[in-house]
Amino acid sequence: MRALVRLVVVLAVLAVLAGGVAAWVGVLQVPVLSAWFGMDRPRDLGSAQPDPAAYTALSTRLGVKLPSPAANYTFSSHHEFSGSVALDETIPESTILAIREFRTNTPGLRDVSVRFHAGSAEAAAFIDLAPYGYPLSGPIYTSFRVTVAGPKQVTVALDALDFGRLGVPGDVRTRAVDALNSYLATRLAQIDGLNVSTLAFREGAVHFAGTLPTTYEASPPQPGAMP
């Protein structure tokens, strides 16, 4: 009986230690501990506060229409586009962060934010991989650069990719970049009304020149699905 008790105690201690390590690393949510270690929320990038009024004013000036229910505009929703409007200006970070997709959480992804610098950008969010079949969740962070490769093509280069406190290994990051650029090539080609001449990151802003669609329709988000 004493041996059994000792075994139970040892297993309990190991479980607590394992849970503490997982909570500290930030790849698994453990009640109380994850919040204590700050791993229950995305990294604070110091991004500008969203400016819905500025976004509404820009959308009105460009004639942008969002006819679908507000809850449909998420990063995991399928979008359909139509119409076209020319645009050549620098858009502040606060206006971009007021786009509905940034303000609406999606299954498995919440609290997305970006911060723009001269030539590069950072992004942070909280991801729950359960909808994709993995029992992991925690904050993710990336820094990246974007290059225009054609009227409907951009390529992304990741300078960093972290899950919790862990840097994603280089080979995994390479596969992620390849998959992302393959997805972007396919998806951007399908966006009616899109033509990119310039897409340049500035400190706290993005300069865009080209054309954008004027009508954005979005389907309800589906857990575990890509748009």
* 159 within a domain of the structure (yes/no): yes
Would you say residue 170 has pLDDT above 90? no
* 224 within a domain of the structure (yes/no): no
| Residue 139: closest CA among 41, 38, 33 | 41
pLDDT of residue 183: 86
Would you say residue 160 has pLDDT above 70? yes
pLDDT of residue 226: 60
Beta carbons of 194 and 210 less than 8 angstroms apart? yes
Would you say residue 28 has pLDDT above 90? no
Give yes or no: residues 92 and 196 share one domain: yes
pLDDT tens-digit profile of 68-79? 999 999 988 889
Number of domains in the chain: 2
* Residue range of the domain that includes 22: 1-40
* 126 within a domain of the structure (yes/no): yes
Would you say residue 113 has pLDDT above 90? yes
pLDDT of residue 7: 39
* 4 within a domain of the structure (yes/no): yes
Mean pLDDT in residue range 19-34: 69
Give yes or no: residues 179 and 99 share one domain: yes
- Quick one: pLDDT band at residue 197, thresholds 50, 70, 90? very high
Would you say residue 147 has pLDDT above 70? yes
* 5 within a domain of the structure (yes/no): yes
Give the Cβ contact number of residue 95 at 10 Å. Answer: 21
